[in-house]
Amino acid sequence: MINDMIKVVRNSISCGVGMKNWVSKWVMFVAVGHTIVAMIFFGNVYGEIIRNGLYNSVKSEKTGLAVWFLLFGFLLFVFGMLLAVIEKNDSSQIPKSIGVALLLLTTLGVVLMPVSGFWLILPAVFAILIKK
């Protein structure tokens, strides 16, 4: 049964069923969501940072957490943009090594923080790893 499901997913990905180049779009979507969540949870911290001046403004664990949360969203979006460049080139595909690295990062994130958005990267990871 599992093998049949994998075949269906693999065939739909390789045949172009569904949205073309969706992996990069999905990663960018998750990145935007991550940034929105950062603004919701840490908006007051960002306001404080701006009011006090940006230079050397990370002086506590709370501001450090807020800044890294925001920066990771931007970094994830840039990564999605790079994936889009690879997906647009019909003669190449996203390297499996990228999928493995993303799987390792996502697995570590899920283990360390099960109640998080790391789960949202798994569809992209599986699509990269299953694609022929």
Whole-number Å distance between alpha carbons of 35 and 126: 23
Find the Cα–Cα–Cα–Cα dihedral 43, 38, 76, 111, rounded to 10°: 150
Domain assignment of residue 56, given as a range: 21-130
Domain count of the fold of the chain: 1
Whole-number Å distance between alpha carbons of 85 and 83: 5
Tens-digit pLDDT profile for the chain (132 aa)?
Answer: 555 445 544 554 454 445 678 999 999 999 999 999 999 999 999 999 999 999 999 999 999 999 999 999 999 999 999 999 999 887 678 899 999 999 999 999 999 999 999 999 999 999 999 986
Residue 100 in any domain: the answer is yes
Spatial contact of 7 and 112, defined as CB atoms under 8 Å apart: no
Residue 42 in any domain: the answer is yes
Alpha-carbon torsion (45, 50, 53, 57), positive or negative: positive
Spatial contact of 28 and 81, defined as CB atoms under 8 Å apart: yes
Give the DSSP per-residue string, 92-124: ----HHHHHHHHHHHHHHHHH-SSSSGGGGHHH
Spatial contact of 26 and 125, defined as CB atoms under 8 Å apart: no
* Model pTM score: 0.79
Residue 12 in any domain: the answer is no
Residue 86 in any domain: the answer is yes
Spatial contact of 46 and 52, defined as CB atoms under 8 Å apart: no
Residue 2 in any domain: the answer is no
